[in-house]
Chain A
Amino acid sequence: MKRNHLLILVLAGLAALFSGCATVHPWERATLADYAMRPDRDPLHNAMFEHIYFSREAASGGRGVGGSGCGCN
């Protein structure tokens, strides 16, 4: 029983270590920094989305964050 517990613990540790999560290093963020990754790249889509958001939540604006995903500075 004790051995089984240890095995589960080790397997959980290995699962955490070799999970699908990966660190994107600062120098590897060229694709994330691309204009296409900006959530506000299409003004028409943006306006439509805002309209739906306002209709649903009775709130608008206040969630604009500039820049894309390069995480610079």
Chain B
Amino acid sequence: MSSPTKLIAGLACALALTTGAFAGVKVGQPFPDLAGYALEGTLPAREGQVVLIDFWATWCAPCKASFPAYSELQRELAGRGFVLLAVSVDKTSGPYEEFIKRFAPSFTTVRDGKQKLVAEVQVPAMPTSYLIDRKGVLRAVHSGFHGAETIRSLREEIIRLLEEKP
């Protein structure tokens, strides 16, 4: 292989690697197994459940604004096989623990302090929620939190998934 050809091949590889780093998780694909990311906190039982995973942070105002509505959603649908899990991407535990203590959400929260899971998933904005069906397949992604509009859309999608036969 000649020298310029080698250079071009190297350039192409570098470009491929760069673009590959932004792949993320796509709708229709299985969501990564949460147990493999050393999340701080206890994960809820998710087997055979419809799961909503919400990525949030204490420094993100819309994330915090979503908590009352998500608490309500969890209270309403928990008995039907729905689990809401909030994954904080805060690097430090102080603000996270303070917020959880103050707000005491009705759903489980864990912390991805090393930001491994969020980097794997490649969330497009903060907050972003991922709706996963009973088989562990990603079915919908909600980027950002837009109040009642987001909740209405999420609620409809969750109920549709809950009514699907396993």
Q: Tell me which of B30-38, B57-65, B132-140 binds A.
A: B57-65
What residues of chain B lie closer than 8 Å to A26, measured between beta carbons?
123-126, 128
Closest to A35 in B: B59
A7 at the B interface (CB under 8 A): yes
Count residues of B near A (Cβ-Cβ below 8 Å).
Answer: 30
Q: Is B155 an interface residue (CB 8 A)?
A: no
Q: Is the CB of B59 within 8 A of A70?
A: yes
Pick the residue among A10, A14, A33 that contacts B60 (CB under 8 A). Answer: A33
Q: When the two chains form the complex, which single residue of B11, B61, B91, B128 contacts A30, counting CB atoms closer than 8 Å?
A: B91
| B118 / chain A contacts, CB cutoff of 8 Å | 27
Contacts of A7 in B (CB 8 A): 4, 7
If A17-B15, A71-B125, A73-B144 touch, whether A27 touches B115 (CB-CB below 8 Å) is yes
Check B125 against A17 for contact (C-beta < 8 Å).
Answer: no
The answer to the question of A63 belonging to the interface, with a C-beta cut-off of 8 Å to chain B, is: no
Min distance, Cβ B26 to any Cβ of chain A, angstroms: 17
- Report A's interface with B, CB cutoff 8 A: 3, 6-7, 10, 13-14, 17, 25-30, 33-34, 67, 70-73
Not counting A6-B4, A28-B115, a sample of 8 additional A-B residue pairs whose C-beta atoms are within 8 angstroms of each other reads: A14-B11, A14-B14, A25-B122, A26-B124, A30-B90, A30-B91, A72-B126, A73-B126
Query: Can you list 16 A-B contacts (CB < 8 A)?
Result: A6-B4, A7-B7, A10-B7, A14-B11, A26-B123, A26-B125, A27-B89, A27-B119, A28-B115, A30-B90, A33-B59, A34-B59, A72-B63, A72-B126, A73-B62, A73-B126
